[in-house]
Chain A
Amino acid sequence: MDERSVNMFDVHTAIDRSVRAEAYQDGTPMNGGTCWRVFGPDVDGDRTLGIGVEVYSAPNRSVWITLCTVIEVEG
């Protein structure tokens, strides 16, 4: 997030104002669960961000893990 000059407000805004969501094209996560990506603008409205979300249960099944990956999308 540092390298892309993105902070939590950009992530929240991209999700709140998302315009598109799609399933990962490269299959399910290694640990099972579900994975998809939402696309929306950053707070300043200058860039489109893609927020990848992978959700799966931990090996001992006592906790759910959510892994978010932030990418900048062209156009």
Chain B
Amino acid sequence: MKKKKAIKPRAVTGPKCECSGTFKPVTLRSFDFSRHSGLPSFLDGAPGWRCGSCQREMLHGQVINASLFLIAMDIVGFPHRLTAEHARYLRRSMQITQQELADRMGIARETVASWESKLKEISPQHDLILRVLMSNHARGSEALPMKVVVDIANDVMATLSSVRSEPAPRKTPDLRVTESDFKKLPAAWLSKMQNTAPTAFAS
């Protein structure tokens, strides 16, 4: 009787790089995420792709979206008052203009502009309202599976029981999505991110 040929799992290989090397799936260490987020930020342990030849690194589009979401949630849980960069990040994360945020908060656009341009520190009350708006917005995020999104948003919401009376630090600290943050995400989702091609953003 003929032996059945064992099916070898197909090796996951990514697309060709501009240097003609090939991208391979890897776990990225200290990936500089600043140009994606617009804030000094790093990813530790993110599923990503690296060119075997020129070492260029890329992220899957969904990993980018998930990381943007995790950074927003990190900011909402920030123990001090929001810095100008934080406030701007949260507004942009909700994809609304200064005027649209002002309308939602029942304040003048100039007030929003004054936080973001560091002319004035955000008041504790406005700080809290902005965080609550962001948490509510986050519940509808499609960056991660719905249950994960709702769990993370609920955890962050639970930290918003009072206003932040401590003033914002002078310099916005670097934001970091850590390996343990990624490990909390569903294994099936992480595996999918390393088995489908990354989306490249070029300009």
Contacts and interface: CB of A to CB of B under 8 A. Distances in A.
A9 B179 CA distance: 24
A71 to B, nearest CB: 7
Nearest to B93: A9
A7 B203 contact: no
Contacts of B13: 60, 62
Given A8-B37, A44-B98, A66 B68 contact: no
Given A7-B37, A16-B95, A43-B92, A68 B197 contact: no
B192 to A, nearest CB: 13
B199 interface: yes
Nearest to A9: B92
A2 B35 CA distance: 6
Given A8-B64, A9-B95, A60-B13, A65 B200 contact: yes
Given A1-B35, A8-B36, A69-B203, A63 B197 contact: yes
What class of interface size applies to chain B in its complex with A?
20 to 34
Contacts of B93: 9
Interface in A1-15: 1-4, 6-13
Contacts of B96: 43
A13 B35 CA distance: 16
Contacts, number: 70
Contacts of B199: 66-68
Contact of A12 (B95, B97, B98, B196): B95
Interface residues of A, number: 29
> Which of A7, A45, A59, A69: most chain B Cβ within 10 A?
A7
Contacts of A24: none
A10 B37 CA distance: 10
Contacts of A60: 13
B40 interface: no
Interface in A24-62: 43-45, 58-60, 62
> Which of A3, A16, A62: most chain B Cβ within 10 A?
A62
Interface of B: 10, 13-16, 35-38, 61, 64-65, 68, 91-93, 95-98, 196-197, 199-203
Interface of A: 1-4, 6-13, 16, 43-45, 58-60, 62-71
Closest 10 CB pairs of A and B: A63-B197, A7-B38, A9-B92, A70-B203, A45-B97, A43-B92, A13-B95, A58-B15, A66-B199, A1-B203
5 contacts: A7-B36, A9-B68, A60-B13, A66-B199, A67-B199
